[in-house]
Amino acid sequence: MAEGRWRGAGGALWRMVVVWGVSTLTMLVLAGILPDFQLQSRGGDSATRVGITAAIGAGAFGLLSALVWPLLVRALLLVPALVLGLLVFFLNGSLLGLALRLIPDGRGQADLQTAIVVAAVMSAVASATSTALAVRDDNAYRRRLYRLADRRRRRAVAVAGPSAPGTVFLQLDGVGHDVLLAAVEKGLMPTVAHWLEHSHRLTPWRTDWSSQTGASQLGILHGSNHDIPAFRWYEKDTRQVMVCNRPASAAELQRRAVRRTGGPGLLAVDGASRGNLFGGGADQLALVLSVAARRERGRRSRAGYFAYFSDPANAVRTAMSFVAEVVREIGQSTRARLRKDWPRVKRGGLYPFIRAFATVVERDVVVSAVIGDMLAGRNAVYADLVAYDEVAHHSGPCGRDAEQVLARLDRSLALIAKVTEHAPRGYRIVLLSDHGQSPGETFRARYGLTLGDLVKAGCGLPVPRRARRTHSGAEARAAVLTALHRPVEEDTDQPRPARHSEPVVLASGNLGLISFPDVAHRMTREEIDRRHPALLPTLANHPGVGFLLVRGERHGALVLGAHGAEVRLDDPDPVRRDADVAELLAAFGPGAADAVRRTDSFPHVADIMVNSWCDPVSGEVLAFEEQIGSHGGLGGAQGRPFLLAPRVLSDPVPDGGELVGAEQVHQVLRRWLAEADGPQVARVVREDSRPDS
């Protein structure tokens, strides 16, 4: 044991010397490259003297980074995370300037701009060197984690005695059940493969009709996603468009869920919410959208931010990874254009930076926050990793770009799993997703017009010229005139006056919502037909539309399909109803009728709900948004996420049935949290359990 300690101390001293030497050489190289960075007196110095000056400067900078930097970050914890990320470079450069001032005889000189550059490069080089050395030392990483957890571990054991295991819920946003299995089979996710083989149970579950993060995560964290018909929808009573990823909307949806359930959420007992749309009742919050605009003292999370930014190399490494991801996206999109891949959407503008934020910055901050929560011994942690979902929207859910993201996410999972060995309590890691993604080209790419264009045509409103020039635009116009029993004529460029306000048309993946804002109530089929007799036939008979949901005056919920197909979801004859549903909704998977019927009961369901066509064999859909990997409606893999949990937890569906809906997933997760309060085993820190031994 003593020999192990001496070996560990010797290894740590050796790494420190090597990093110091590399930092000294880096400073010498930068002094030779940058004209405004000096390491010698005005009269000149010998090479030995310059080397000693560089060594003093590198050592002073390293000490200041280790001692002063954590204090600076702690003082700036109230600054938003992204702003702090930008301040990192200024503060890092200031520390280097201070280090240069400590060099005797004023030999170190650099203006602020040069100091920022030098500090960034030195931090990155030092971090890379330290990481490379740690890879060669199998215990280096374990020792570092032990040092971070040592004080918390001792306090937890001394005060609490036996400790129940905590639970970490990690959400891989948008990763479907079949995508996960395919990634494991290809060797992209060895951590998940190990769990599947040795410790975890994989269970698919079925989403609601609104297969998107807002509905799923609200149901999972708060136990209710009632009245969430889509990712975005129009509410007639408030005359507002609700959007799940808008802070004000997320806060309102969370309030409604809490009011409906009467409970604070899944994470109410010593919980932490990281990178989510909703808080789940947690006290510790980081990157949570529903509280993004709140500034109450004590409601802002410090765990994770301090652990991440206390090391200036972390921010530099994340910034460099951010730039690398932007370059990677530009290269991948360029290759896709040159190969003429199809389907394809535009990936220029701000998208490379948005992708880099989701796949690098948000991932790093969320993972660091989760690690901080585990080392602090929190009872329940729920974190959302959005990287795959963002890339799959633009590159496709099964493409090489998305697979590379899955491989990097698996490394994050391995990092979190490693922390369980050093946390003050045991942890059960539950991996889950909120929905999948369905491939397919966009509605606009296939037919040359958007859903909004098609609705305008059905209402007799002017269709944009870009739609009329295409075959599909002419097809839509011909369908309208046929429904009106008029001959097909050439249209003029003069707009036709409308007697009513234009409908609000919104898209959520392959789910479309059409609302008439000048009518206070939900319009019935009969009212729609009287106002726009061609609209419903135009939509139902379009080849890109799978089915419509409307409300009849006499027969309740009606599902309409092509060629006059019609299903009464409230038909009192179950045999006839089930036969009709099976025929019309067969392509959209089991439970489609129940999902549609539930959405029909929502107070804010649209006047017309439109689900795109779906290929029952390939699972392809047609997104009404510019996405080649989409989710939000019914059809394909988007409605089949997964739940991967330790086998020591009870079976999520013990009767062998199917797990349906986010609200049922919430009940399962609550049950698992309750099971952690069962028989407990004391976690005692022994001298021979140290990583150094």
DSSP assignments along 82-117, one per residue: HHHHHHHHHHHHHHHHHHHHTSGGG--EE-HHHHHH
Kindly report, residue by residue over 298-320, the tens digit of the pLDDT: 444 444 455 565 555 566 667 77
Query: Whole-angstrom distance between the N-terminal and C-terminal Cα of the chain?
Result: 5
Kindly report, residue by residue over 213-259, the tens digit of the pLDDT: 999 999 999 999 999 999 999 999 999 999 998 889 999 999 999 99
Judged against a pLDDT cut of 80, whether residue 464 lies above it is answered with no
Residue with tokens 């979801």: 569
| Contact by Cβ (8 Å): 463, 477 | yes
The kind and range of the H/E element at 635 are none
- Could you tell me the pLDDT band of residue 146, with boundaries at 50, 70 and 90? very low
The predicted structure's pLDDT at residue 403: 94
Return the percentage of the chain with pLDDT > 70, whole number: 66
Distance CA 307, CA 580 (A): 58
Cis check for the bond before 543: say yes or no (omega within 30 of 0): no
Question: Of 225-239, 247-261, 495-509, 530-544, which gets the smallest average pLDDT?
Answer: 495-509
Give the pLDDT mean for 675-693: 41
| Contact by Cβ (8 Å): 443, 612 | yes
| Contact by Cβ (8 Å): 633, 611 | yes
The domain spans of the chain are 2-136, 164-437+638-677, 443-627
The predicted structure's pLDDT at residue 289: 86
Residue 294: half-sphere exposure toward Cβ, Cα within 13 Å: 19
Give the pLDDT mean for 159-182: 86
Kindly report, residue by residue over 378-390, the tens digit of the pLDDT: 999 999 999 999 9
Q: Which residue has the higher pLDDT, 517 or 56?
A: 517
Q: Which residue has the higher pLDDT, 136 or 38?
A: 38
Distances (CA, A) of 477 to 504, 516, 536: 20, 21, 14
Taking residue 649's Cβ as centre, other Cβ atoms within 10 Å add up to: 19
Compute the chain's Rg from CA coordinates: 29
Judged against a pLDDT cut of 60, whether residue 438 lies above it is answered with yes
Q: Which residue has the higher pLDDT, 666 or 59?
A: 666
The predicted structure's pLDDT at residue 57: 67
Give the pLDDT mean for 615-621: 94
Q: Which residue has the higher pLDDT, 557 or 54?
A: 557
The predicted structure's pLDDT at residue 81: 45
Question: Of 57-66, 120-129, 359-368, which gets the smallest average pLDDT?
Answer: 120-129
Q: Which residue has the higher pLDDT, 279 or 654?
A: 279
Judged against a pLDDT cut of 50, whether residue 155 lies above it is answered with no
Kindly report, residue by residue over 629-649, the tens digit of the pLDDT: 999 999 999 999 999 999 999
Judged against a pLDDT cut of 90, whether residue 481 lies above it is answered with no
Question: pTM for the full model?
Answer: 0.77
Judged against a pLDDT cut of 60, whether residue 617 lies above it is answered with yes
- Could you tell me the pLDDT band of residue 350, with boundaries at 50, 70 and 90? confident
Q: Which two tokens stand for residue 459?
A: 């209402």
Taking residue 68's Cβ as centre, other Cβ atoms within 10 Å add up to: 15
The predicted structure's pLDDT at residue 407: 95
CATH class of the structural domain 164-437+638-677: alpha beta
The predicted structure's pLDDT at residue 505: 96
Residue 210, exposed/middle/buried by CB under 10 A (0-12, 13-18, 19+)? buried
What secondary structure does DSSP assign to 562-625, as a single string? GGG-EEETT-S-HHHHHHHHHHHSGGG-TTHHHHHHHHHTSTT--SEEEEE-B-TTT--B-BSS
The predicted structure's pLDDT at residue 678: 47
Q: Who contacts 194 (Cβ-Cβ below 8 Å, separation ≥6)?
A: none
Judged against a pLDDT cut of 70, whether residue 148 lies above it is answered with no
Give the pLDDT mean for 143-155: 48
Residue 25, exposed/middle/buried by CB under 10 A (0-12, 13-18, 19+)? middle
> CA dihedral in degrees (692, 689, 414, 362; nearest 10)?
-80
Q: Which residues are registered as beta bridge partners of 612? A: 545
The predicted structure's pLDDT at residue 590: 87
Q: Which two tokens stand for residue 102?
A: 């400590």
Question: Of 92-106, 324-338, 613-627, which gets the smallest average pLDDT?
Answer: 92-106
The predicted structure's pLDDT at residue 335: 84
**DSSP SS3 for 155:** helix
- Could you tell me the pLDDT band of residue 409, with boundaries at 50, 70 and 90? very high
- Inter-helix orientation angle 247-261/213-222, to 10°: 40
The predicted structure's pLDDT at residue 137: 44
- Could you tell me the pLDDT band of residue 576, with boundaries at 50, 70 and 90? low
- Inter-helix orientation angle 81-101/112-136, to 10°: 100
The kind and range of the H/E element at 549 are strand 545-552
Per residue, the 3-state secondary structure of 442-508, as one string, reads EHHHHHCCCHHHHHHHHCCCCCCHHHHCCHHHHHHHHHHHHHCCCCCCCCCCCCCCCCCCCCEEEEE
Give the pLDDT mean for 427-449: 95
